[in-house]
């Protein structure tokens, strides 16, 4: 029997709770480096890119699912996404609409190449280095897209951070309802939810740390980041996670 070792967590309610907290931390953590510490968007992007590459490499080298390594990599991807989107939108002048469109195209291309190569984009198949590369590329593009979408919703539509959070929260509620009461592809719903949790985290993070005159609460970015990090750590310690399904073993068992 050929074993398949999935190195991503089982998708449960705990997964989504930690994911939303991690995306919010990505926003406050990225803003802490680029704004509070005055590194700027370019230097902050370079810093988190290095961290992301190192952690993705460690994730691929790992022989089994390691919760702390996995979520550290997710946080690195979401902080990189924050600084990269801000750099493109603000420093390069791409704009929120242009940045969101470009990133959506890159995400769809990545998922398309993944499907063409493997015949599936289900996270239950993330068990080989090649699939892991597709997975982490899709994750990174979705995180960056989420930042751009969150900023676009809050700023360009005039809804503000609270309004943006409500819109993305409502969209996630619809996705959850579709999961329980329709037969829509679970893989499609997963990626829809994964993408939508990022702008939700982005708008919540901006609401926490942006100035009052911009519609935020002006809370300390480092403090908010520390609280979110402690919350995530507590979830990982108290709520144990396990790897997702092992499709190759399941197929062998049926045979």
Residue 112, both tokens:
């398309």
Instruction: Dig out the tokens for 125 from the structure.
Output: 């198949």
Pair 121, 185: CB distance under 8 Å:
no
Compute the distance between CA of residue 212 and CA of residue 11 in angstroms, rounded to an integer.
36
pLDDT at 248 (0 to 100): 44
Q: Model pTM?
A: 0.86
Q: Provide the residue ranges of all domains of the chain, joining segments of one domain with +.
A: 13-238
pLDDT at 215: 67
Q: Using CB atoms within 10 A of its CB, is residue 249 exposed (0-12), middle (13-18) or buried (19+)? A: middle
pLDDT digits (tens), the chain, 255 positions: 333 457 889 888 899 999 999 988 988 898 899 888 899 888 999 999 999 999 999 999 998 889 999 999 999 999 998 888 878 777 677 777 777 888 889 999 999 999 999 999 988 888 888 999 999 999 999 888 877 787 787 777 777 777 878 888 899 999 999 999 999 999 999 999 998 888 887 778 777 777 777 667 777 889 889 989 999 999 999 987 888 764 444 333 333
By three-state DSSP, how is residue 174 classified? helix
């Amino acid at each position: 029997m050929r074993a398949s070792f999935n190195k991503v967590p089982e998708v449960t309610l705990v997964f989504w709770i930690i994911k939303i907290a991690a995306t919010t931390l990505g926003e406050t953590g990225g803003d802490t480096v680029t704004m509070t510490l005055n590194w700027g968007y370019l230097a902050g992007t370079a810093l988190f890119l290095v961290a992301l590459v190192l952690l993705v490499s460690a994730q691929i080298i790992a022989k089994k699912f390691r919760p702390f390594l996995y979520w550290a990599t997710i946080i690195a991807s979401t902080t990189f996404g924050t600084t990269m989107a801000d750099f493109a939108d603000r420093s390069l002048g791409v704009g929120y609409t242009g940045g969101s469109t470009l990133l959506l195209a890159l995400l769809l291309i990545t998922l398309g190449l993944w499907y063409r190569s493997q015949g599936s984009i289900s996270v239950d198949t993330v068990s080989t280095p090649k699939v892991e590369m597709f997975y982490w590329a899709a994750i990174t593009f979705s995180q960056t897209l989420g930042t751009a979408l969150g900023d676009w919703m809050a700023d360009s539509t005039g809804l503000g951070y609270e309004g943006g959070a409500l819109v993305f929260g409502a969209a996630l509620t619809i996705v959850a309802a579709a999961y329980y009461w329709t037969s829509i592809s679970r893989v499609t719903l997963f990626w829809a939810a994964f993408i939508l949790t990022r702008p939700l985290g982005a708008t919540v993070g901006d609401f926490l740390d942006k100035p009052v005159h911009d519609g935020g609460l002006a809370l300390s970015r480092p403090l908010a980041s520390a609280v979110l990090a402690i919350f995530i750590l507590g979830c990982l310690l108290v709520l144990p996670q396990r790897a997702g399904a092992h499709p190759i073993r399941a197929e062998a068992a049926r045979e």
